[in-house]
Amino acid sequence: MLAALMASTPLGLFEGFVHPALVVGTSLAAVPLVIHLLNRQRHKPMTWAAMRFVLAAYKKTRRRARFENWLLLLLRMAAVALFALAIARPFVGKDDVLSGLTETRRDMVLVLDASASTGWRTGTRSVFEGIVERARELVLELDSNRGDRVRLLSAAGAPRLLSWRTPEEALDMLGTLREPTDEALDLAAALSEVASHAEEQAGGGDARELEVRLLSDLQRRDFLPPTSSGEPAAVAGRPRAESAGAELPGAGLDGAESDSPTDARLFAALDRLKKLGVKVRVEDLGPQELVPPNLAIADLSLDEHEVAVDVPLEVGVRIANHGATATAGVKVVLEVDGERRPAKLVDVPARGAAAEVFEVTFRHAGAHTLVARLESDRLAIDDARAAVIAVPPPLRILLVDGAPSSDVAEDEVGYLAAVLAPLDDAGLGGSPFETRVIEPAALRDGSVSVDDFDLVWLANVDALSDGVVEKLEKRVAAGAGLVVSLGDQVQAEVYDRRFFAADGSGLLPAELAGRVSVPSRRESYFRAHQFDAQHPALAFFADEKWRPLFTEVPVYEFVATRPLPAAHVLARLDDEAQSPLLVEKAFDRGRVMLLTTTIDTAWTRIAESPRTLVPLVHELVRWVGRPRGASRNVAVGRGIELEVAEFPRSPVIVRPDGARAGLAGEAVAAGPNAWRLPRIDDTARVGLYRVEFSDGAAQSFAVQLDPRESDLERIGASELSSLHPALVPVSSLTTERSREPETAAPRGELWRWLAIAALAALVLETLWSAWIGRARSVRP
């Protein structure tokens, strides 16, 4: 309809309108005409005697008066129509007859790559400084007097809108940018923000005149989706650089996220821009090398389940070489609680990694800091990596012996107590466990309190009073652990009544049913048919080398159970019903583990195999007995909540650069002797952080760089252009910018001339109206 209207009216002089919906405002030009016609209808002719003299005079001047009135009406209508057109902002092509009256206003979006990789330096200048300088050059080309606008986005973990109006405002913001962030680039989020702005500007049409420029180092992983191995995919037949050397797990003490920032969202955003006719000019301001040299500390790792006071540990430091040539004699240093350990030298292959191991022994419980360092190179941010490890005090374990005996082999907890005994005699350092063995009567008479222990193991205990069960519930809810192993002394109906609740409010993760046994122990046995190899309590047996130690051990008898829906079955037997062998559930802040057979030799041969019993018991008690808590190592920009044993007074956060700031918010009770600090979201920089309190106590945590940000391999211009039609690569070289692809033909706007014409019509209407009034007042 609008196209037909334009073709049949003077609106056809224009190629289009920036705000086409506002063109209907030109219809308001008819308002003065309508008012005029309505006023004419209000006059009723009346004949009277002297009327003939008036009519005679009117006949002499009516032609002149009619001309004056029509001219006045036309000026009023023209003023309204011109104002409506000016607001609709019509434009014409550069070859149009009206193009000489137009002015071309530029609307630009600048996306600045502010990710950590842009900190790579060439001489004294970083890539990020080059990006800011190039952005300043582009903004200086704009003219606010002409109506030019610029939208400035800083792109890293999330796009940040820095300015959105005049070039002067953008220049002021560029002057505040000194260094890049420590985050990885989420290009999909940045271009999605640009697409939303373009759609808003288009108003249902296209936005082909919107200039979008991405100033980037062209880090390959920002543009290409990851393959199943996590590496960026090859495009247009280009093979990836081969990796060599040691590949170590990326878990360890890392807080970095494993998901890639580049995914289908990127191509969805590019498709939206393509639909609007918008091209993203990607300007290469990165290093000249396609694979820039860079060494990085990629990972700090140790087995946190083995961490204990006075127990020697191995801390693995992985050094990654992202360059195209091997590097020999790389010097790596580990600092433990600020104390520098002797440096080690390691050879790192090209596009590969190597590992070095440091032996560390922590002499006291609490949070300890680890910092691995390399000699500085062009990208300094990944030459050091910090981690915080919480070293727990020895785990206090209470073994409740339901079937005591003077013979260790016959005693219900004989083997169990032996594998939890201190390791000093073996020359392996201190013990992570402090164990005490009691009989159930000590719990019933109150001579022993469960509040003094981190874990309680009920081994074939016949029954406990309601009062003892209530104490156990409170202790586990506060963060302690409970392990229940069954046997012939267990009264299933009593356990179900006192320990189990169908709604999950009881301690047991499953309801106990009847006992199941093999017909003959000489002829058959049950065994663990399947188990959760990813669970920390059973991860030791995930290796094919050690799996038979768990799956081939005979189980002759067990108690059938019906697990709760929320319970986690860690292992099942190979009987017809595939009955649970190990069942776990969370109970408020603590954990409960149910072993449906015995821990001695009565129903199974697990206890007779030290290679099975030792890792199984050690991992179980470590997992169940340690309170659930968040890691002390987080990725850049991720929040963290810390817990302390006493009410925190006047907490102050100390950042890696030494800056101090009060911690906003109030601590809340998280349980007995546990207070949770307000969430800390100020984690924008990598390094070690401390939260200090007025009593001198302190808590530490580490913020870690995404290790993938260290891989500076760049995507080539031809590969980039083939990635998506909306992407247009642009060289960073000044001599080649002149050959930059042409933008869409500029469409000049006429709004300024239309506004002037509307104002002129109003002025003329005012002057003409005044002249008519004066002339008619003196006219005979």
Residues 288-309 pLDDT 10s: 899 999 999 999 988 777 788 8
46 pLDDT higher than 70 = no
736 pLDDT higher than 80 = no
Position with higher pLDDT, 768 vs 549: 549
Q: For position 8, what pLDDT does the model report?
A: 46
775 pLDDT higher than 80 = no
Q: For position 656, what pLDDT does the model report?
A: 94
Least confident range from 16-30, 138-152, 545-559, 568-582: namely: 16-30
Measured CA to CA, the distance from residue 270 to residue 252 in angstroms comes to: 36
Residue 503, helix vs strand vs coil: coil
Measured CA to CA, the distance from residue 640 to residue 629 in angstroms comes to: 11
**Is-contact 521 506, C-beta < 8 A?**
no
Q: For position 52, what pLDDT does the model report?
A: 60
pLDDT band at 427 (very low <50, low <70, confident <90, very high): very low
DSSP 171-217: HHHHTT--S--SSPP-HHHHHHHHHHHHHHHHTTS--TTEEEEEEE-
CA-nearest of 89, 111, 331, 107 to 209 is 107
Going through 186-307 in order, the beta strands assigned E by DSSP cover 210-216, 244-245, 280-284, 295-301
Residues in the chain: 780
CA-nearest of 722, 705, 635, 638 to 223 is 722
The position carrying tokens 């308002």 is 31
**Is-contact 339 361, C-beta < 8 A?**
no
pLDDT band at 21 (very low <50, low <70, confident <90, very high): low
Q: For position 253, what pLDDT does the model report?
A: 62
Q: For position 738, what pLDDT does the model report?
A: 43
**Is-contact 607 487, C-beta < 8 A?**
no
424 pLDDT higher than 80 = no
Going through 50-158 in order, the beta strands assigned E by DSSP cover 90-92, 107-113, 121-122, 125-126, 149-155
Percent of the chain whose pLDDT exceeds 70:
79
**Residue 29 neighbours by CB under 8 Å, 6+ apart:** 77, 78, 80, 81, 84
Q: For position 483, what pLDDT does the model report?
A: 97
Other C-beta atoms within 10 Å of 407: how many?
7
The position carrying tokens 């706007």 is 749
Q: For position 426, what pLDDT does the model report?
A: 47
Which letter does DSSP use for residue 410 in this model? T
**Is-contact 314 358, C-beta < 8 A?**
yes
Measured CA to CA, the distance from residue 330 to residue 315 in angstroms comes to: 18
Position with higher pLDDT, 246 vs 519: 519
Measured CA to CA, the distance from residue 765 to residue 32 in angstroms comes to: 12
Token couple for 701: 């945590």
Average pLDDT, the chain: 84
Largest CA distance in the chain: 144
pLDDT tens across 50-86, in order? 566 566 655 656 667 777 777 877 877 777 777 777 6
**Is-contact 717 740, C-beta < 8 A?**
no
pLDDT tens across 324-380, in order? 999 999 999 999 999 999 999 999 999 999 999 999 999 998 899 999 999 989 999
pLDDT band at 744 (very low <50, low <70, confident <90, very high): very low
Q: For position 556, what pLDDT does the model report?
A: 95
pLDDT tens across 590-635, in order? 999 999 999 999 999 999 989 999 999 999 999 999 876 678 999 9
Measured CA to CA, the distance from residue 583 to residue 587 in angstroms comes to: 13
Distance of CA 739 to the CA centre of its chain: 39
Q: For position 5, what pLDDT does the model report?
A: 45
pLDDT band at 585 (very low <50, low <70, confident <90, very high): very high
